[in-house]
A = this chain, B = another copy of it.
Amino acid sequence: MHSSLPIGVFDSGVGGLTVLAALRARLPHESAIYLGDTARLPYGTKSVESVTRYAMQATEHLVARGIKLLVIACNTASAVSLDPLREQFAPLRVIGVVEPGAEAAVAASTRQRHLVLATESTVKRHAYARAIRARQPEADVEEIACSMLVALAEEGWTEGPIAEAVAKEYLGPVLARPAAAQPDTIVLGCTHFPLLAGAIRAVAGPVPTLVDSATTTAEAVAGLLAASNLTNTAPGPGAIRLLATDGRERFARAGARFLGEALRPDAVEIVDL
């Protein structure tokens, strides 16, 4: 395991590019190789068995190319496949986004009342509720499955009346409660949701803190690299490689929104898992 190897980042599609962007900001000297399993997305409505099989195949591919650490940038795969991946690929270091997200939520909250917006599978596993209560046993955690927010982000309809109406449909019952029973954090428990932060904020009002795991995941990666003597000490910016399992043009078009910069389709390599 050499410090000059890239960090592997795996996601079901393009949403994890928000995590890659946070990694580049926090660790500009690190190289990274990003794999989006666009042929089989979305993961959020699929079974534990399917998601774990897909995550195993993606990790095998990245390990064969050579990585020093794996980031599971997909909340669903983090929620259902983190332990099997750690077992299968030990001693490879594997970091998911749920634990850093829970860490951030607990730190941002004064009343420890959390509302988690996530995919159907992440909610079904109660991944965030368990991770938050592991840190704050008395925390109040409510989880809502929000499949339509994924669709809005993929279609690029991230603001305006439709995005706000969809956010209101999911959040309405919670926001109708008395102030004391309302959450003081809203955890964006899917990598697609930071794109919808404006619409969620418009519906939820100014009080709750919107928690996004990208920054805290990058922080966790930085800490783990330092602790393992794997920080890249070479000067200059790291290189980024982008892999996808389907649809170069669509990956580049949708990915640009998540990464926050233009992407050329021919910079995306298509791989078969």
Contacts and interface: CB of A to CB of B under 8 A. Distances in A.
Interface of A: 38-40, 45-47, 49-50, 120, 147-148, 150-152, 154-155, 157, 161-162, 165-166, 169, 246-247, 250
B165 A161 contact: yes
A157 B148 contact: yes
Contacts of A45: 154, 247, 250
Tell me whether chain A's interface is mostly helix, strand or loop, or mixed: helix
A162 B169 CA distance: 9
A87 B97 CA distance: 46
Given A147-B154, A169-B162, A46 B50 contact: no
A19 to B, nearest CB: 22
A165 B47 CA distance: 31
Given A161-B165, A162-B169, A246 B50 contact: yes
B162 A151 contact: no
A50 to B, nearest CB: 5
Given A39-B40, A147-B155, 18 more contacts: A39-B46, A45-B154, A45-B247, A46-B246, A46-B247, A47-B246, A49-B246, A50-B246, A50-B247, A120-B250, A147-B151, A147-B154, A151-B152, A157-B169, A161-B165, A162-B165, A162-B166, A162-B169
A11 to B, nearest CB: 16
A218 B98 CA distance: 47
19 contacts: A39-B40, A39-B50, A40-B40, A45-B154, A46-B247, A47-B246, A49-B246, A50-B246, A50-B247, A120-B250, A147-B151, A147-B155, A148-B155, A151-B152, A157-B169, A161-B165, A162-B165, A162-B166, A162-B169
